[in-house]
Amino acid sequence: MTRQKTILVTGGAGFLGSFLCESLVADGHSVICLDNFHTGAREKIAHLMDEENFELVWHDVTVPVHADVDEIYNLACPASPVHYQSDPVKTVKTNVMGALNALELARHTQAKVFQASTSEIYGDPAVHPQDETYWGNVNSIGPRSCYDEGKRCAETLFYDYHRQYGLEIRVARIFNTYGPRMNADDGRVVSNFVLQALKNEPVTLYGNGMQTRSFCYVDDLIRGIRALMDHEPGVLHPVNLGNPVEFTMRGLADLVLELTGSRSELVFRPLPQDDPRQRRPDITRATEALGWQPEVPLRRGLEKVIDYFDGVLSRRPARVEVPAALTARPPLAVRRRANGGAAVGPLAL
Ligand SMILES: NC(=O)c1ccc[n+]([C@@H]2O[C@H](COP(=O)([O-])OP(=O)(O)OC[C@H]3O[C@@H](n4cnc5c(N)ncnc54)[C@H](O)[C@@H]3O)[C@@H](O)[C@H]2O)c1
């Protein structure tokens, strides 16, 4: 049986964080979910709120935090351009100060610490597919730089803390991930296409629609993140996690139209500045070191996303699959506390 740990998840009320918390809680770990609800939402973790081994803490990662933890997963950061560009200075602070605070906490508690890095650190890549030895092609002063360079600096900090203080670190470079609980308003291509198609509105393609992306279903990604964190002895190099199967935006749009049975038409708009033309992970390292590879085909994952957004649009409860271990107790509404926040537990904020 695996030892029960106390685990801090920053950004735990976001899209990926909520699935990660769910997976850790289901395995019996004590999970402290820390979030400032910038892009997260209580609804995403509402089904966990009555679990004894789950605590929600309102906190901004730019401020230091103290907790007695065994592991830290640092996910806090808006992930979509529309959100991270709305306050770029704050995005840099969240990435850099958030990483520093997670690392300082790890240093004082001897915790293992995970960083949710991103394929964006490769920028508009000059090599294809991207493996972890590629240093990237990043514009340091463009509209995406607050995110790309913020994440690059966070990686630097992780490796400096490892070299200087011997911290046990894990760094995953996450490629496009999709699934239920994505924000409807974040302008990401999968949610955009699905929502436009469900509403029979024009489906917007940028450029000629021939630029490619790869899409990883959220269940596959969470399995990869956990395999990386749990791997003993640790994999110290950054590890790409994503689905290497490449689709053109045009191909994705056609599949969404087919699966939704939509009457939407395709419309074409100019490419945004610094938009990468092509991005696909080389996952050799993840496969060899962790035995990990994605299993959910795009068609099956899209069906779940369509079902989710269909539920959101028709205002019926979204059918998000919850692990069996969590369905033993009925999900309750989010607990409200007198101070307006959630249980602080062992944290001295
Ligand atoms: N989803 C993807 O495809 C993808 C790809 C690459 C990397 N990532 C990384 O994974 C992480 C999670 O992404 P996501 O898709 O779940 O995004 P998300 O926006 O849904 O979740 C981010 C969470 O962090 C919280 N947050 C933001 N700033 C914060 C702050 N200053 N203090 C505390 N909490 C804060 C938000 O409220 C939200 O709950 C991010 O670090 C992102 O960069 C995601």
C-alpha of residue 76 to centroid of ligand 1, in Å: 5
Does 341 reside within a domain? Answer: no
CB atoms within 10 A of CB 58: 16
Does residue 76 register a pLDDT over 50? Answer: yes
Does residue 164 register a pLDDT over 60? Answer: yes
**Closest to 17 (Cα-Cα) out of 51, 53, 50, 56:** 56
Task: Tally the C-alpha atoms within 13 A of residue 64's C-alpha that lie toward its C-beta.
Answer: 8
C-alpha of residue 342 to centroid of ligand 1, in Å: 20
Residues 6+ apart with CB under 8 A from 101: 61, 62, 63, 64, 65
Does 59 reside within a domain? Answer: yes
From the centroid of its chain, how far is CA 285? 20
pLDDT digits (tens, 9 = 90+) for 301-321: 999 999 999 999 987 655 555
Does residue 77 register a pLDDT over 60? Answer: yes
Predicted confidence at residue 319, as pLDDT, reads 52
Predicted confidence at residue 324, as pLDDT, reads 58
Write a three-state SS string for 159-175.
HHHHHHHCCCEEEEEEC
Task: Report the catalytic residues.
Answer: 147
Does 24 reside within a domain? Answer: yes
Does 199 reside within a domain? Answer: no
Residues 338, 225: Cα–Cα separation, whole Å: 35
Cross-strand pairs, 211: none
- Which of 124-138, 305-319, 333-347 tops mean pLDDT? 124-138
Cross-strand pairs, 10: 34, 74
Predicted confidence at residue 271, as pLDDT, reads 86
Residue labelled with tokens 């000629």: 208
pTM: 0.91
Is the distance from the beta carbon of residue 37 to the nearest atom of ligand 1 less than 6 Å?
Answer: yes
Whole domain around residue 75: which residue ranges?
6-177+216-244+279-295+320-326
Does 34 reside within a domain? Answer: yes
Residues 292, 144: Cα–Cα separation, whole Å: 30
Does 236 reside within a domain? Answer: yes
Average pLDDT over residues 186-210: 94
pLDDT digits (tens, 9 = 90+) for 250-262: 999 999 999 999 9
- Tell which atom from ligand 1 comes closest to the C-alpha of 59: 33
Hey, whose CA ends up nearest to atom 44 of ligand 1?
79
Higher pLDDT, 202 or 326: 202
Does 128 reside within a domain? Answer: yes
Q: Is 181 left (phi over 0), alpha (psi -120 to 50) or beta?
A: left
Which CATH number does the domain housing residue 144 bear? 3.40.50.720
Is the distance from the beta carbon of residue 11 to the nearest atom of ligand 1 less than 6 Å?
Answer: yes
| 30 contacts 6 by C-beta, under 8 angstroms | yes
C-alpha of residue 201 to centroid of ligand 1, in Å: 28
% residues pLDDT > 90 (the chain): 82
Predicted confidence at residue 236, as pLDDT, reads 86
Phi, psi (rounded to 5 degrees) for 241 = -125, 120
Predicted confidence at residue 341, as pLDDT, reads 36
Q: With H, G, I as helix, E, B as strand and everything else as coil, classify residue 61.
A: coil
Does 18 reside within a domain? Answer: yes
From 7-11, 113-117, 339-343, the region with the lowest mean pLDDT? 339-343
Predicted confidence at residue 51, as pLDDT, reads 97
Please state the domain count of the chain: 1
pLDDT digits (tens, 9 = 90+) for 92-121: 999 999 999 999 999 999 999 999 999 999
Give the residue, out of 38, 43, 89, 221, with the most ligand 1 atoms within 8 A of its beta carbon, to mutate for a pocket test: 38
- Tokens representing 261? 């049975």
Does residue 325 register a pLDDT over 90? Answer: no
From the centroid of its chain, how far is CA 200? 28
Give the residue, out of 9, 10, 34, 39, with the most ligand 1 atoms within 8 A of its beta carbon, to mutate for a pocket test: 39
Residue 244's pLDDT band, with cuts at 50, 70 and 90, is: very high
pLDDT digits (tens, 9 = 90+) for 22-60: 999 999 999 999 999 999 999 999 999 999 999 999 999
Does residue 124 register a pLDDT over 80? Answer: yes
